[in-house]
Amino acid sequence: MPYVSTPDGAEIFYQDYGQGKPVLLSHGWPLSSEAWAYELKVLADAGYRAIAHDRRGHGRSSRTSGGNDMDTYARDLASLVEQLDLTDLTVVGHSTGGGEVVRYAAQHGKGRVTKVVTVGAVPPVMVKSASNPEGTPIEVFDGIREGVLRDRSQFYQDLSETFFGANREGSTISQGLRDDFWRQGMLAELQAAYDCVAVFSETDFTEDLKALDVPILIAHGDDDQIVPIAAAAYKSIDLVKLGTLKVYPGAPHGISGSYQEELIKDVLAFIAD
C-alpha cells in the first residue's frame, strides 16, 4: 500500500487513482480516505488524478504519540504533496478536512495549489465566544470528548444520525451508510480522535482564509447539524478574496445521495479549465 513519510517519522497512507490534473481530498473527523470512495472514482473517470489520504491517527496512517494539531496536519499534507510533486493542484476538504486544506493552501501551497474547495467545513472557527456568538458552545465539544473517551463505539453510532440527518422527517439515509461511518470511526486511534475534537472546534482559520489568493468554492448544506452554516460558510465567504458560496437546501453534514451527486457536479465544473 502507498505511504509517504513525514519529517517526524509518521507514515501517511494515501489512495491514488487516474491521471491528469491532481485533485487531493481531505476527510472529516473521525473518518478516513474511504469517505471519498465515490468522489475518487468519479474524478478519476472524469480524467483527473484523484488522491485521498488518511490523516495521522486515522485509518491506515501512523498512530503517533503527538502531532494531533492543525499545523501538523497541514505539514503532513505538504509532505504528501511534495513527495508526489503535485502542481496545478485542487485541494478539497470536508469538515475538519476543510480546515486542513485551507491552512495547507494558505501556509504551504503557494506555487502548487490553484483552487480550493471546502464542504461543510469548520472555518473560520467553530467554538462560541464573545467574538463568535453564532458558534457552538464549548460544552457541546466537551460532550463529544466524553462520548469518545467512555464509549466511542456507541457514540459513533449515535453521531451518525445527526451527521447524515437521519433524524429528519423523510430521510432516506440507509443503515449501511451509518454503519460505514461507525466502521471508519472505529479505525481512528482513541488519542487522535479525542485530541482532534479541540483541533476542529478551537482552531481559528480567519487569517488563513484571508491569505488565500486562489479561487475557493465554499459548499455547505443549510441543514448541517454538525457544523452550522451560520458560523461557518456564511462567515468564511466574507473573509476570502476569490470565493464562491454554494448552499445546498436541506443538505446535512454528511455527503450522500442527491447531495453528493449535485456536489460532485459542482466541483467538476469549478475545477474545469
Rounded distance between C-alpha atoms, residue 128 and residue 233, angstroms: 15
**Residue 121 corresponds to which cell in the numbers above?**
467545513
Query: Assign residue 20 a region: left if phi > 0, alpha if psi is -120 to 50, beta otherwise?
Result: left
CB 75 within 8 A of CB 6: yes
Sheet with 11-17: strands ordered across: 3-5, 11-17, 49-53, 22-26, 89-94, 113-119, 216-221, 243-248
**Residue 219 corresponds to which cell in the numbers above?**
459548499
Quick check: helix, strand or coil at residue 118? strand
Selected catalytic residue, list 95, 160, 236, 256: 95
**Residue 50 corresponds to which cell in the numbers above?**
484523484
Element (DSSP H or E) covering residue 155: helix 138-163
Residue 15: alpha-carbon gap to chain centroid: 16
Q: Active site includes 94?
A: no
Q: Active site includes 65?
A: no
What's the longest Cα–Cα distance across the chain?
A: 49
**Residue 200 corresponds to which cell in the numbers above?**
476542529
Selected catalytic residue, list 160, 224, 236, 256: 224
Task: For strands 11-17 and 49-53, give the pairing.
Answer: antiparallel
Q: Active site includes 5?
A: no
Q: What positions carry a catalytic annotation?
A: 95, 224, 253
